[in-house]
Amino acid sequence: MHNSKIHILVIEDDPAYMNLLKLRLAAERKAVFSAVFAATLQKALERLKQEPFDLVLLDLFLPDSSGLDSLEAVRKQSPHLPVVILTALPDEDVGLQAVKSGAQDYLIKGEVDPHMFFRVIQYALERKRMEAYLRNSEERTRLIIETANDAFVAMDSSGLIVEWNRRAELMFGWPRSSVIGKTVADVILPPQHREAHQEGIKHFLASGEGPILNRRVELNALHKDGREFPVELTVWPAYSGDEYRFNAFIHDISGDRKLQQMKDEFVSTISHELRTPMTIIREGVLQVLEGLHGETTENQKKFLTMTLGGVDRLKHIIDRLLDISKLESGRVLLDKELSDIVQIAREVNAAFLPRAQAKGLEIREIFPADSLRVYLDKNKMIQVFTNLMDNALKFTDKGFIEVSVLDGPQSVECRVRDTGRGIPKDDLGRVFSKFEQFDRQMGPGEKGTGLGLAIAKGLVESHRGKIKVESRAGEGTQFIFFLPKHSVDDIFKEYLARGIRAALTEKACLSVLLFEVQDYDSLLTKMAPAPIDHLLKELGKKLKEGVRQRVDTALEGGHRFYAGLPSTRRETADFISKRIRQVFDETIKKEGLSDVVRIRSKVIGFPEDGHTAEELMFLLRAV
């Protein structure tokens, strides 16, 4: 990357995310960064006039501008400056549209770990520098490619290799002279990916679209000696002469995987080695306290009770540390299902009601809808509400705590508001930082780990949501978080990506089933909503029953049903699909809807039909 300081303009209006970016830039050891922050587009454009920058990190939604208009204004001001988009939206089309409009890359907030963050900046600077050299000299471009830290491979529209840098020689074991003119598929792709690779090229040349273009994709590559190893690649098309050329930077992530495995093993060891003795200690103290080993005095019971409380607190601290460790390493796996978030909020409120009443506090609820179903991880969302309610109770001595869940067109808005002590303005920027405990009192009273709000923020962002705080000292505090409304297609694509990574690691296969009600929109005009909704719920239940014990996930969403079958071959998946289809037909007949409801089904497999989640989803939706 750069040996000198890299000067970045960050255009972002969220103070909490500004803080996170500051910490990440300051903590990076592979490069030295300096950053200037601007909260509005107008201030950013003024700074661009005043001083030179190496890179811009741009939030598309600002107080004085939104969407691609923000990107266009920055590029108009500084046309050759690389721009990386920051977005909290779950729809990757927004990021891809920004890339097509001139951005170098995009980051989805809440999904970015430190390694990815640095890598994206690195790729953005390298690609932009490459474009600049291309304008001046082909020889200068070749020099950049040859000195890149990652492998660079380019192929023409026939899939033949036309560029192969020194790093590619070292990574794959093939000298440049041996691969120029050969197909990429035969040289670096394992056999199970080759057919999908050829189909991907054909699809792009026919439509101008490709599921892996301008994205970071992880897959297995093939070394000269026959071994497979994990890589992360970024591929982008370039029109050269009278044909397309495909360029790719390829990064060997074997070391990252090994390091992550070591971290996982460490966390697992800590979990086992600390929790097991604590369980034994707690059980022993409890038995003595309950008199199972002889009578105890009141004074002894007092100290045993204190010991028991200390053990429980230590377990709570360890659990929180493990939670934050998983969030920071990106190892939190979400089990998203269509869940009633209003019911989740009600359950958490009910659990806190005794504590609130003991302090003389009222818990108020604002739920305009009795039920609001969105795709989320129910247990993780319970933890978010629990952490926010726990924080509100700790710092509210009189008045009330109000919980609201409001429906919006693109997202669900949740609020936890209290009439407590509030947070001083100077401390607001540190609210979501780890181990921060404002107004902590010494001695007895409410104590915490200082991790609850950091965990809540991490869990919200892992749902691709956004959280913020509003407060005034002495007037109370409210935490507001937004959860995007995902479609069943979005959620299943996430599960597919996870399933493919597992299949690659285990060298296994994966089959995918789709069941869809045909002509659904037309059906809605012919029938009342109630019987259709009832039928869809019944079909969702039948799907989960039909694939139990073999399924990685089964998802329902409107008129579409998906199932993923790990380590299941295509022939077996076809049999399961026919069996479920038969059950669906019987259910439809039982509901008296055989004359109007028809089901379409489809079965595809990894790796024979595609090697990325995007490719498989494209094939599933294709009629």
Give 438-469 pLDDT, tens digit per residue.
654 434 444 556 788 988 998 999 898 999 99
What pLDDT band is residue 309 in, cutting at 50, 70 and 90?
confident
Residues ≥6 apart with Cβ < 8 Å to 323: 383, 451, 455
Give me the residues paired with residue 232 across strands: 218, 251
User: Two tokens at 546?
Assistant: 């039909």
Q: What is the mean pLDDT of residues 131-150?
A: 70
CB distance 429 to 16 below 8 Å: yes
Q: Which of 106-115, 131-140, 173-182 has the lowest average pLDDT?
A: 131-140
Q: Does residue 191 carry a pLDDT above 60?
A: yes
Q: What is the pLDDT of residues 370-391, one digit of tens each?
A: 889 999 999 899 999 999 999 9
Say yes or no to pLDDT of 59 above 80.
yes
Confidence at 506, pLDDT banded by 50, 70, 90: confident
Superfamily (CATH) of domain 337-484: Histidine kinase-like ATPase, C-terminal domain (3.30.565.10)
Is residue 431 pLDDT above 70, yes or no?
yes
Residue with more model confidence, 308 or 436: 308
Write down the pLDDT at residue 331: 65
Mean pLDDT calculated for residue range 186-197? 84
pLDDT at 3: 54
Q: What is the pLDDT of residue 91?
A: 59
Q: Give the start-to-end residue ranges of the domains of the chain.
A: 6-143, 148-255, 259-328, 337-484, 488-621
Please check the confidence at residue 547 and state whether its pLDDT lies above 70.
no
> Which percentage of the chain shows pLDDT scores above 90?
25
Backbone phi, psi, residue 302, to 5°: -60, -50
Is residue 302 scored above 80 in pLDDT?
Answer: yes
pLDDT classification of 4: cutoffs 50, 70, 90: low
* 8 A C-beta contact, residue 609 and residue 619: yes
- Per-residue pLDDT at 441: 45
Note the CATH number of domain 488-621. Answer: 3.30.70.270
Q: How far apart are the first and last CA of the chain?
A: 45
The residue assigned the tokens 């920051």 is 86
Using CA atoms, how far residue 616 sits from 74, 203, 425, 603, 611, in Å, is: 36, 13, 49, 10, 7
Q: Lowest-pLDDT range, 172-181, 311-320, 424-433, 518-527? A: 311-320
Fold of 148-255: Beta-Lactamase (3.30.450)
Averaged pLDDT for residues 396-417:
94
Listed in sequence order, the residues at least 6 apart from 525 whose beta carbon sits closer than 8 Å to its beta carbon are none
Q: State residue 440's pLDDT score.
A: 44
Q: What is the pLDDT of residue 552?
A: 61
CATH assignment of 6-143, among 3.40.50.2300, 1.10.3720.10, 3.30.70.1520, 1.20.1260.10:
3.40.50.2300
CA distances from 217 to 170, 249, 611 (A): 21, 11, 10
What is the average pLDDT value for the chain, to the nearest integer?
84
Q: What average pLDDT does the segment 549-574 reach? A: 80
- Average pLDDT, integer, range 238-252: 83
C-beta atoms surrounding 550 within 10 Å: 16
Calculate the dihedral angle through the C-alpha atoms of 9, 11, 13, 14, rounding to the nearest 10 degrees: -70
